[in-house]
């Protein structure tokens, strides 16, 4: 994958993207979480987890491309609760604006039904935290996120970040 100098093309994920979404998400997730989350979670975040989770969330996933078949990044949105579930960018596309473009797209989707968006980030993931803060997200403090696995959840200490995405509106879904 080469670095892109133009704006990424954002689109809804398609079933034919699933294998590439799972592989790219796994690599990006490991980059941001290895050594920063409990060993118990690392042990269950295998390739099967990413494939299964990506398939379950395909309908609320956006991908970024350079206009070709390769994926530069992805964002998974929890439209029911206003969560940015996952944001991942291919290592070669980091620093090119892909993450910011995906985050902005997620905010627009969430704003359709919620006043506020939220996400969880591990405290030691400084790169992600800087991205969110530059985009106007604020650290609402520590919490324990129940990270889903195929067999239940694992408690992970995180910081909850929030952003008002539709000022002055009440949440339609909660």
Confidence at residue 105, expressed as pLDDT on a 0 to 100 scale: 97
pLDDT beyond 90 at 79: no
Confidence at residue 4, expressed as pLDDT on a 0 to 100 scale: 44
pLDDT beyond 80 at 1: no
The mean per-residue pLDDT over the stretch 8-25 comes to 94
Confidence at residue 170, expressed as pLDDT on a 0 to 100 scale: 58
Reported as a single tens digit per residue, the pLDDT across 21-75 is 999 999 999 988 989 998 889 988 899 999 999 999 999 999 999 988 889 999 9
| Percent of the chain residues topping a pLDDT of 70 | 94
Alpha-carbon span 137 to 130, nearest angstrom: 10
Tokens of 51: 């494939």
Pairing of strands 138-149, 83-89: unpaired
What are the b/e assignments for 105-122, b being 16+ CB within 10 Å?
A: bbbebbbebbbbbbbbbb
Alpha-carbon span 74 to 90, nearest angstrom: 9
The SS3 of residue 155 is strand
| Percent of the chain residues topping a pLDDT of 90 | 75
Pairing of strands 61-65, 83-89: unpaired
- Please say whether the beta carbons of 68 and 6 come within 8 A: no
Pairing of strands 138-149, 116-121: unpaired
pLDDT range class, residue 168, cuts 50, 70, 90: confident
Higher-confidence residue of 4 and 37: namely: 37
pLDDT beyond 50 at 3: no
Please name each of the domains of the chain with its CATH number: 10-164 (3.40.630.30)
Confidence at residue 172, expressed as pLDDT on a 0 to 100 scale: 52
Reported as a single tens digit per residue, the pLDDT across 135-156 is 999 999 999 999 888 788 999 9
The residue written with tokens 């627009």 in the block is 108
The mean per-residue pLDDT over the stretch 99-116 comes to 96
> H or E stretch including 74?
strand 71-78
The mean predicted confidence, pLDDT, of the chain is 90
């Amino acid at each position: 994958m080469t670095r892109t100098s133009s704006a990424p093309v954002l689109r809804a994920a398609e079933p034919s993207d699933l294998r590439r979404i799972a592989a790219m998400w796994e690599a990006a997730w490991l980059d941001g979480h290895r050594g920063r989350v409990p060993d118990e979670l690392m042990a269950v975040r295998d390739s099967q987890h990413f494939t299964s989770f990506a398939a379950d969330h395909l309908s609320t996933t956006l991908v970024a491309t350079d206009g070709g078949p390769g994926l530069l990044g992805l964002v998974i949105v929890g439209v029911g609760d206003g969560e940015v579930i996952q944001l991942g960018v291919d290592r070669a596309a980091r620093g090119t604006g892909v993450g910011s473009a995906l985050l902005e797209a997620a905010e627009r989707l969430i704003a359709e039904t919620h006043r506020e968006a939220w996400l969880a980030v591990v405290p030691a993931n400084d790169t992600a935290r800087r991205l969110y803060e530059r985009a106007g997200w604020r650290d609402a403090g520590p919490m324990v996120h129940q990270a889903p696995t195929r067999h239940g959840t694992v408690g992970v200490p995180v910081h909850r970040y929030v952003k008002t995405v539709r000022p002055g509106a009440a949440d339609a879904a909660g």
